[in-house]
Amino acid sequence: MAKRPQTLDAFFAPPPAKRARVEASVTSHEDQPDGAQKDASSHYTYPFALPHLPPAICETLNFAPATEGRVINDQPDLDLVYFEPYIPKDIQRELFEFLRRELFFYRVKYSIKRGPTETQINTPRFTTVFGVDVTSRFDDDGRVVDATMGGPVPKSTYKCDPRPIPQCVDLLRTLTENATGCKFNFALVNYYSSGNDSISYHSDDEKFLGPEPAIASFTLGAKRDFLMKHKPTPENHSSETKPLKLPLASGDMILMKGLTQSRWLHSIPKRKGGEADKGRINITFRRAMVKAGTENYYRYNVGDGEVYQWDESRREMRPWAGVAGQRSYSSASVPA
């Protein structure tokens, strides 16, 4: 490959971590009983096995990032690196269709209480999540064990069922860590089925992520606007900042770090018709530091709802036919 030209931003940015080649055989920790499909990720918490990425996609992913990241830090408290794209163009469509077809998703419903009023929230997108916080890890048999001592964690440790990141997502996580020098232990996957699916202004500034979290956010599929605005806090002089709009296209990645989450808000607004109705997958890699992070992510991205899977003939997400075998958020247990 030809050597990429050095940009001014890249010259002044800290050097990225050395990128290591990742082979197609790399997998996350899995619990595969005898007779299980060997080219798939399976675990007792998965409703069904998830195929590994095809070798051709794995091979091309080794050329990521496809472009140099553009540093955006020209406003107070803003610290972004924008890759246009990160994922090579040759596999963007194939990777999007693979993940939409093979992953399981949820349409989570939950209640929040504002004063005396309880409101039912229907998540306006499909979600799924994998990972566990730094206090725990998965052993070679897929059991959740103490990260330091290696012994099994008590059943009362988590109300949820943490699940390891499958190979089809973990490969991208590993490559992103190698390229950015950041560490991640969670993968949140959102599917925006149409322009009606959205996420309102918010910031990922939960205490369980630490004081200055780094979050890598990938787009696959339809282009959607990513809006940002400074939080209205007088001490941060938010009136001196300007709203930001990034037209995230398929294969793009934005790395948010530093004070970005604590001082800025971001959203994906609704869009009527057009490209937005073709569907968009968003993958965010994060690092949860305490058990509360694990509980939060599974509560709001798995919940107690039914499992959905992409129906190619209907071209839409449909309830999974094997719903009777699913596991809910509250049915935590570990293998014996």
Is residue 204 a known part of a binding site? Answer: no
pLDDT for 224 equals: 97
Cβ-based neighbour number of residue 200 at 10 Å:
11
End-to-end CA gap in the chain: 50
Report if residue 205 sits inside a domain: yes
Report if residue 55 sits inside a domain: no
Beta bridge partners of 219: 282
- At how many degrees (to 10) do helices 89-102 and 167-180 cross? 140
| Element housing 176 (H / E) | helix 167-180
Structure tokens at 172: 């991208």
User: Model confidence over 25-65: pLDDT tens digits?
Assistant: 444 444 444 445 679 999 999 999 999 999 999 999 999 99
Report if residue 316 sits inside a domain: no
Structure tokens at 148: 């330091």
pLDDT for 39 equals: 93
Is residue 52 a known part of a binding site? Answer: no
Q: pTM for the complete prediction?
A: 0.86
* Exposure letters 221-248 (e unless 16+ CB within 10 A, then b): bbbbebebbbeeeeebebeebeebebeb
Report if residue 192 sits inside a domain: yes
Is residue 284 a known part of a binding site? Answer: yes
Spatial separation of the C-alpha atoms in residues 293 and 65, rounded to whole Å: 28
Is residue 297 a known part of a binding site? Answer: no
Q: Is 187 exposed, middle or buried (0-12, 13-18, 19+ CB in 10 A)?
A: buried
Report if residue 203 sits inside a domain: yes
pLDDT for 119 equals: 80
Structure tokens at 180: 């950015």
Asked if residues 135 and 146 have their Cβ atoms less than 8 Å apart, the reply is yes
DSSP letters for 258-316 = TTHHHHEEEEE----SGGGGG-EEEEEEE---SHHHHHHHHHHHTTTPPEEEEETTTTE
Spatial separation of the C-alpha atoms in residues 6 and 68, rounded to whole Å: 8
Residues spanned by the domain of 96: 66-108+116-303
Low-confidence ranges of the chain (pLDDT < 70): 1-37, 234-239, 323-336
pLDDT for 77 equals: 96
283: left (phi over 0), alpha (psi -120 to 50) or beta: beta
What backbone phi and psi angles, to 5 degrees, belong to 71?
-75, 130
Is residue 190 a known part of a binding site? Answer: yes
Is residue 205 a known part of a binding site? Answer: yes
Cβ-based neighbour number of residue 204 at 10 Å:
16
Report if residue 249 sits inside a domain: yes
**Amino acid identity, position 51:** P
- The CATH number of whichever domain residue 223 belongs to comes to 2.60.120.590
Report if residue 151 sits inside a domain: yes
Number of folded domains in the chain? 1
pLDDT for 15 equals: 44
Spatial separation of the C-alpha atoms in residues 296 and 233, rounded to whole Å: 26
Say if strands 280-286 and 215-221 run parallel, antiparallel, or are unpaired: antiparallel
- Reported for 7-10, long-range contacts at CB under 8 A and 24+ positions apart, including other chains, are 7/68, 7/70, 9/68, 9/69, 9/70, 9/71, 10/68, 10/69, 10/71
Report if residue 318 sits inside a domain: no
